[in-house]
Amino acid sequence: MDEISELYEEIILDHNRNPRYFDRVPETANHSAHGDNLLCGDQYSVYLNIANDRIEDVGFKGAGCAISKASASLMLEAVKGKSIEEAETLIEIMHDLLTGETHHHHDEEVDVGKLDALGSVREFPMRVKCATLGWHILNAAIHNEETAVSTEK
């Protein structure tokens, strides 16, 4: 395994063992959404405090595989403090990164930092839904959608 692959694997393992913002609901949460991946059994809820068009605080609860938990942890770490527009752009970029698709076009290159570690998931098609689940839930939470998100829809 090359050094980059080892680093990426370590980032994912770290965020699974020590997920950021896990098992917490911000006291000021005013947006939330729930979703599941029926294929793998992953189930999470994402909680956001959005004020002045900015994601000020985050949290998530639930259970799932290492990939889904690490992806949600990395995701919330990345979007905390971002504007809604920045978060939505990141959701699009991560969808493309995780699926290998390029449906979204951006005027400038965006450095996704540690989130790049999740890109290797697309080599395992059965795990892509695990990695994208949190991102779908985040999008639903931003828009305060009441209907549960499913990777099977």
User: Is pLDDT larger for residue 119 or for residue 45?
Assistant: 45
- pLDDT, mean over the chain: 89
Q: Which domain holds residue 76?
A: 3-150
Query: pLDDT tens digits, residue range 118-139?
Result: 888 888 888 999 999 999 999 9
Write down the pLDDT at residue 57. 97
CATH code, 143: 3.90.1010.10
Number of folded domains that form the chain = 1
| Number of helices followed by number of strands (H, E) in the chain | 4, 4
CA distance 126 to 26: 32
| Of 109 and 38, more confident | 38
- Candidates 58, 74, 99; CA nearest to 18 is 74
Q: What is the pTM of this model?
A: 0.91
CA 95 to chain centre: 10
Determine what percent of the chain falls in helix, strand and coil, rounding each to the nearest 5: 50, 20, 30
